[in-house]
Amino acid sequence: MQNRFRANARFGGQRAIVALMLREMSTTYGRSPGGYIWAILSPVAAIAFLSLAFSAFFHTPPIGNSFAMFYATGMVPFLMFNDIQNKVSQSLMYSKQLLAYPKVTFLDALIARFLLNFMTQLLVAYIIFGGTMLFFEGTLSIDILTVLDGLLLAAQLGLGIGTLNCFIYLRFPVWQQMWSVLSRPLFLVSCTMIMFDGIPEPFRDWLWWNPLVHVVGLVREGFYDGYDGYYISSKYVMLVAMVCFALGLLFLRRHHRDLFER
């Protein structure tokens, strides 16, 4: 009887996650005219703009032969982290009404938003990288496993920081606006437009503590044969992600119902 109860609870949780994913697919991507197309066109437009702008001043990118591929390897992992972090951090506010049902837990809402947006960004990465290689840089020898490791780290970091922010958003609503302002320079200090190797000291040592620098470096190491990402520490990124995720889950488990009743 106890095993049957656990199986039913597990199945009910899976159904809730799928239902939440379908709900977000219809509300986030189904109502706008562009839908999923805009999720692809937005980073493509940014990469194209950066490529045209910098190719007018420089003959070659810092690594490789294609400006488009260089900026794609920087922007795609950053955007994966940023999108997942933003969506996960707002998951409880987004599904607040559904959390009133006893079979829908706060963890279901977190997992549903993470899975849907991770799969979306993985599809976007495949299309952008594939299209860039086809039209701009077809001679690359790619280490697919290394690239996937980098994207998975970006997703884990987005889940971890997003989970912690999910609690802080509910506890201190002003933090949402503060985080929006404080996180804007992340794009510039995550080595998406430059190489970590070219940054002078002591700024290089300071930037090392930004986990996104390691994520971007790992993706580029997978695309550019011979590039030595000596500074990359996957363990450091995973540690930051796991600590943030554990703290976020701990606080949400203890306080999420009280925060909703405020």
pLDDT reported for residue 259: 64
Range 181-207 average pLDDT: 91
Cβ-contact 122, 151 below 8 angstroms: yes
Predicted confidence at residue 34, as pLDDT, reads 59
Query: Which pLDDT does position 5 carry in this prediction?
Result: 38
What is the pTM assigned to this prediction? 0.87
List of residues 6+ apart from 221 with CB closer than 8 A? 143, 146, 150, 227, 228, 229, 232
pLDDT tens track for 29-46:
665 555 667 767 777 777
Tell me how long the chain is: 262
pLDDT of residue 151: 97
Can you give the residue ranges of every domain in the chain?
Answer: 2-260
* More reliable by pLDDT, 103 or 225: 225
Q: Is 67's pLDDT higher than 70?
A: yes
CA distance 235 to 158: 15
Distance between CA atoms of residues 173 and 165, nearest Å: 10
- Better pLDDT: 128 or 141: 128
Q: Which residue has the higher pLDDT, 17 or 24?
A: 17
Percent of the chain at pLDDT exceeding 70 = 82
What pLDDT, on a 0 to 100 scale, did the predictor assign at position 22?
79
Residue 36 is predicted with a pLDDT of 64
